[in-house]
Structure 1
Amino acid sequence: MPTSVRFLHCGGFRFDSPDWEGPEKWTALRNQDLWQTFQAVLNLCQTENIEFLFITGNLFDQEYVRKETVERVAGSLAKLQDTKIFITPGRLDPHIITSAYRLTVWPGNVYIFSSGVSSFPFPTHNLIVSGSGWTAYHQEKSFLEHYERSKDGTIQVMLLHAVMESEKSPEGYIPLRQEQIASSNLNYLALGHNEGWSGIQKIGETTLADCGAVEPRTFADQGPHGVILGELSIDSSRFEFKELAQRAYITKNLSLQGKDNLEDMVEEIIAGIGQGERERNLYRINLKGSLTDIESIIQPMQKLLEKKLNFVEVIPLESKGEPSIEPSWRVVENSEGFPTLAHLFLKKLKKRLAEADEDQKEYWGLVEKIGQTALGRGRVFDDY
């Protein structure tokens, strides 16, 4: 009988989501990056002899997922014949009646959690893996409500797409309370929701971590992105965070005050950036100054920087303060090449918000919520 269990914990792939911040031409590149990172995860499972792969939510984006994508993921996971794979559906890919998880036949080494807490014992490893998945676009109750397991000499792991009460609770989430975690008597609580990894924490006797998303999607997603490698036994644990992200989003601010030489400004921006970083990372240059100065310099600077940086966009710093719509409402076309009704609605709403004064923003925010509900994005029912 093995004395320890080796696992890999990851999440937040969001296959088929168009939510990549930056110019539209970056989207195809970042989708390709995501598949490369997914393959890197599979390779790690093989080279590190990973026995259990934990995927804690948002493997897909239910709003955009395609059948061929689900089939490709399932086919790839089937190749990990020596690895048992556990998936907990999350906020963006709940296990509803139209779920992405129903679009293919999953291989026998894949376990997908649904409503309620389910447990799978592995006596040969002295291990019990438990978890619960989202079955609606909101939670009715905490996943750990009334959950307590006594210590029985087994290694106990749970997978949840959830947040802690110490964090700002997003809409639709009921956070886990510290006393619930402490009384769970879990050896490891594998969480998913955050964009970046949380670090290893401990509450009571339970070690926990949120792995974060494997790839950053916006310029706000700073810090490392990757997976957690772990080894558990009854008396000890070992964890390692391994960065796998193909690229980073880098923001640089530049004030135009007192500057008039464009070449010098470009050199100031790229100073200290290594050649490898220039070729790999995604850069946003925020220009601060008078509107007249910015308008006259933004295009010439963009052209010069494109000779130095593979992926760069130059924008006015003030534009960051404009009201923003949830990224998943970005205007994209459907399979027939025409914008969907939802995206046309959000495109017009974004314009209204940009023109609104402070008193009007609350009104247009309410319009957005009503529109989301009417167009299906704001579904709050459980149709599983």
Structure 2
Amino acid sequence: MTPSVRFLQCAGCRFDSPFWEGPAEWAVQRNHDLWQTFETVLLLCQAEKADFLFLTGDLFEQEYVRKTTVERVAQSLGRLKNTKVFIVPGEKDPFVSISAYRLALWPSNVHIFSAGLSPVKVPDQNATVYGAGWTAYRQEKPFLEGFQVAEDGMIPLMLLHAEVASAQNSEGFIPLQTENIASSGLTYLALGHREKWTGIQEAGRTVWADSGVLEARNFRESGPHGVIVGEIGPGSPQLEFRELGQRRYIEKTLPIPANPESFVSKLVAETPPAERERDLFRIKLTGEAWPAEEVAKLWQKKLADKFRFIELIHNQEEAPPQIKLNFRTPGETTPGEGNSYLTLPQVFLQKLQERQSSALSEEDQDHWELVGKIGLTALSQGRIDNEN
């Protein structure tokens, strides 16, 4: 009887990335959240007795990653004694000459794919795992064009940092064509790059799915985030999405209220206390009657007491500047309290986040992310290496 193969799949950790939407001090908490979620992934591998862990791209943020971070990830993966780990470098962490993947000695249970599709045979699981990593910041050719698995009786699996042609493509991506997936002969194709879980998809006899990023980084990535837990044996692959993300970005659109007292009470009543303490909220207010300054301050005071983080935005182009209702965790200080002041990078990030939150399209968001990347690199006296 053909043995079953159990696996976990996740993507988009982007360790050491400074880009978290919210106030500058929020990044410290979100980075802690990311590590906690990653540790949960490793524990889930052990609990599920996973044969494979598929990391489908953007494990690191190449321009900002630290050697200590890469070593910590490598050591953590080495603890999975009964799980083979397969990694494909992606758009944010390509396998270039100064790649993050070259900064650590990786344990024997980890395989990192580089240029060109290549197979790794795993006889114990009667499986062949194919993969190809990014080796530049732009994809030069399609991954699956003309590809077919070897007919050797083994279960053919593949992981790629890629997306299918029906998705909205980013610059630098060459999308996968569904007909190439269907003709590949693969049993399962594990993808990375999408922001959210795609659900279970099929192309011919090949099942494919993208888990989405492990932790949300902005309000465009609202909804649940986590991993795919799968089992492949006789018959079709069985896949299940497990939410592991520590916090959600939640956005609501509401009309500007006539009565601010009832507005605050209703919003609090409709939001469970656990969510108010845990998650980040953005309220888009529609309508032309923007409240007077004293009313806005009343909302700010009342909502800031009830939510860990919340911001109000008037949902019109000609609206006044955003009212941001920030939070402070215990022990933190703000400018003017003691000797703690915002650093220049923190000020830069705050201004950048204001631009990002008012961006009207994904292209605008990508533009401001690039601006932030260049700006933070300059402030840290670093450099941007383009291997392409």
Pick the TM interval, shorter chain. 0.7 to 0.9
**TM-fit CA distance, 1:222:** 2.5
Q: 1:299 aligns with which of 297, 300, 319?
A: 297
Structure 1 residues not aligned, in runs of 5+: 323-336, 355-360
Partner of 1:54: 54
Contact 2:63 2:384 in 1 (8 A): no
Partner of 1:34: 34
What code does the residue aligned with 2:37 have?
T
**TM-fit CA distance, 1:279:** 1.5
What code does the residue aligned with 2:316 have?
E
Q: How does 1:1-384 map to 2 (within 5 A)?
A: 3-256=3-256, 259=258, 261-290=259-288, 293=291, 295-318=293-316, 339=345, 381-382=387-388
Residue by residue over 1:230-281, the C-alpha shift from the partner in whole angstroms, topping out at 9 and shown as x without a partner, is 1112433211111101111111233335x1x432221122232112112211
Aligned counterparts of 2:41 and 2:151: Cα–Cα separation in 1: 32
Contact 2:96 2:387 in 1 (8 A): no
Partner of 1:333: none
Decide whether aligned partners of structure 1 residues 26 and 297 sit closer, same or farther in structure 2, where only a CA change above 3 A counts.
Answer: farther
**TM-fit CA distance, 1:74:** 0.8
Aligned counterparts of 2:52 and 2:209: Cα–Cα separation in 1: 16
Aligned counterparts of 2:58 and 2:232: Cα–Cα separation in 1: 25
**TM-fit CA distance, 1:54:** 0.2
Contact 1:252 1:269 in 2 (8 A): no
Root-mean-square deviation (Å): 3.1
**TM-fit CA distance, 1:124:** 1.8
Contact 2:223 2:249 in 1 (8 A): no
Partner of 2:339: none
What code does the residue aligned with 2:284 have?
N
Aligned counterparts of 1:275 and 1:320: Cα–Cα separation in 2: 34
Aligned counterparts of 2:25 and 2:150: Cα–Cα separation in 1: 53
Decide whether aligned partners of structure 1 residues 273 and 134 sit closer, same or farther in structure 2, where only a CA change above 3 A counts.
Answer: same
Aligned counterparts of 2:33 and 2:251: Cα–Cα separation in 1: 20
Decide whether aligned partners of structure 1 residues 132 and 256 sit closer, same or farther in structure 2, where only a CA change above 3 A counts.
Answer: same
Instruction: Give 3-state SS (helix, strand or coil) of 2:221's partner.
Output: coil
Aligned counterparts of 2:182 and 2:114: Cα–Cα separation in 1: 24
Decide whether aligned partners of structure 1 residues 321 and 235 sit closer, same or farther in structure 2, where only a CA change above 3 A counts.
Answer: farther
Contact 2:2 2:233 in 1 (8 A): no
Contact 1:12 1:58 in 2 (8 A): yes
Residue by residue over 1:82-110, the C-alpha shift from the partner in whole angstroms, topping out at 9 and shown as x without a partner, is 11000000000000011111111111111
Aligned counterparts of 1:90 and 1:231: Cα–Cα separation in 2: 25
Aligned counterparts of 2:147 and 2:58: Cα–Cα separation in 1: 24
Contact 1:190 1:210 in 2 (8 A): yes
**TM-fit CA distance, 1:316:** 3.0
What code does the residue aligned with 2:283 have?
I
- TM-score (structure 1 length as normaliser): 0.83
Aligned counterparts of 1:95 and 1:321: Cα–Cα separation in 2: 44
Instruction: Give 3-state SS (helix, strand or coil) of 2:202's partner.
Output: strand
- TM-score (structure 2 length as normaliser): 0.82
**TM-fit CA distance, 1:339:** 4.4
What code does the residue aligned with 1:27 have?
A
Aligned counterparts of 1:321 and 1:248: Cα–Cα separation in 2: 26
Aligned counterparts of 1:177 and 1:265: Cα–Cα separation in 2: 48
What code does the residue aligned with 1:231 have?
E
Contact 1:219 1:250 in 2 (8 A): yes
Aligned counterparts of 1:36 and 1:68: Cα–Cα separation in 2: 17
Aligned counterparts of 1:203 and 1:277: Cα–Cα separation in 2: 38
Decide whether aligned partners of structure 1 residues 196 and 320 sit closer, same or farther in structure 2, where only a CA change above 3 A counts.
Answer: farther
**TM-fit CA distance, 1:297:** 3.1
Residue by residue over 1:107-128, the C-alpha shift from the partner in whole angstroms, topping out at 9 and shown as x without a partner, is 1111001000111001121100
Aligned counterparts of 1:160 and 1:294: Cα–Cα separation in 2: 52
Contact 2:57 2:192 in 1 (8 A): yes
Decide whether aligned partners of structure 1 residues 294 and 97 sit closer, same or farther in structure 2, where only a CA change above 3 A counts.
Answer: farther
Query: More deviation in 186-195 or 276-285?
Result: 276-285
Aligned counterparts of 1:271 and 1:227: Cα–Cα separation in 2: 31
Contact 2:33 2:246 in 1 (8 A): yes
Structure 2 residues not aligned, in runs of 5+: 321-342
Instruction: Give 3-state SS (helix, strand or coil) of 1:31's partner.
Output: helix
Aligned counterparts of 1:312 and 1:16: Cα–Cα separation in 2: 24
Contact 1:154 1:234 in 2 (8 A): no
